[in-house]
Homo-oligomer: A and B are copies of this chain.
Amino acid sequence: MRRSFIREILDYIKQDTISFAGGLPNADLFPTKKLEEASNVIMNDNSYLQYSSSNGYDKLRQSIANIYTNDGFKTSKENILITSGSQQALDLISRYYSNKSITIEKPSYLGAMNVFKLNNMNIDAINMNSYNYSLDIFDKSIKKTKLAYLIPDFQNPTGYTYSKEQREFIINSILKNNAVLIEDSPYSELYFEKKFKNISSSIPNNSYHLGSFSKVLAPGLRVGYIRASKELIEPLIAYKEAMDLHTNNISQYILYEYLKNNNEFENHKNTIRKVYKKKSQIFQSYLDEILPEFIYTKPKGGMFIYGRLNHINTSVLINNCIKKGVVFVPGNEFYLNSNNQNEIRFNFTHTSSKDVYKGLHIIKKEIQKIKQCNTL
């Protein structure tokens, strides 16, 4: 099995490496103090240390259900299954559908493609790029597979966001074909201007909506969740039990305490949105200044800027850049057959402006070296 480029290099990049690689939240924004306060409360008794239910901590499931309901998507705790991060949710669902077929975007999240392969799924990756995303191919594919995996908001890696019309198309296509959608939404709360309406709420009986606290709060807690109809949730519980009995209680209890004060969470999300929007703008202005040949589409939220460098093999480029202390992810990593040459995913949330400037200049220099060699 192929390890993620990002996770593999995480193991050996140095302290001073400038990283545009991972989908790492900015650590300066972690609500450290508030999480510590929540932790102090839960330690007043020791129930968090015992075994608990496989579907998750009841009170946290209720809090998450409330968030959906307040957002206009009526949800009870029976619709919620807590997982050890969204990654486990993907593994869990694809185990249930093992040996079946699935429609996915191309490019897509490597961690999802890995579990689909691990579970012997037959993957139909349909071409998408921000310039020309034809949904007719989706309709053709879902007719056969009956199951789709999409990241409609600020997609990983492309940053692409589905339009209202495209969402309508997906809804109709799913219903018409009596199919099921796995809607992965780790970045949905990280919008710059406005929130996009999730697709699942229009097809509650034909969807798994995947959420996570990793991008909006803190990934180290490893808490994600699946929102689905009771009929779809029920059979997953036995798998969750076989996989790790249940998600760690300490993170679940802390999150429950933290979420009790709803304003706290809302304010925190507003802060990240503002900061990430600003960071995205700075990244773009440096890109336009330093690497004007990088062609990309402006994201509407999320963590990534994706684009291409014509005539540059970005897998070669990354190997040179690592040695000079800068990393990004070459587009190659997000394709099933590693056949992409020129694309790059930049993360803009993690790095300081100073390092963005420095890092992009290092990349520019390495691009020039490759160009010189190409013309020799």
Contacts and interface: CB of A to CB of B under 8 A. Distances in A.
B43 A111 contact: no
Interface string A195-224: 000000000000000000010001111110
Contact of A49 (B11, B30, B238): B30
Interface in A56-83: 83
A39 B30 contact: no
A251 B85 CA distance: 15
Interface in A338-362: none
A85 B244 contact: yes
Contacts of A246: 222
Size bracket, chain A contacts: 35 or more
A337 interface: no
Interface stretch (A87-95, A171-179, A262-270): A87-95
Interface string A22-43: 1011010010100110010001
A248 B214 CA distance: 11
A46 B22 contact: no
Contacts of A111: 241-242, 245
A133 interface: no
A376 interface: no
Interface string A227-261: 00000000001110111111111110010000000
A74 to B, nearest CB: 24
Contacts of A48: 220
Taking each of A32, A118, A220, A223, which has the highest tally of chain B beta carbons within 10 Å of its own beta carbon?
Answer: A220
Interface of A: 1-4, 7, 10-11, 22, 24-25, 27, 30, 32, 35-36, 39, 43, 46-54, 83-85, 87-88, 91, 95, 111, 114-115, 118, 214, 218-223, 237-239, 241-251, 254
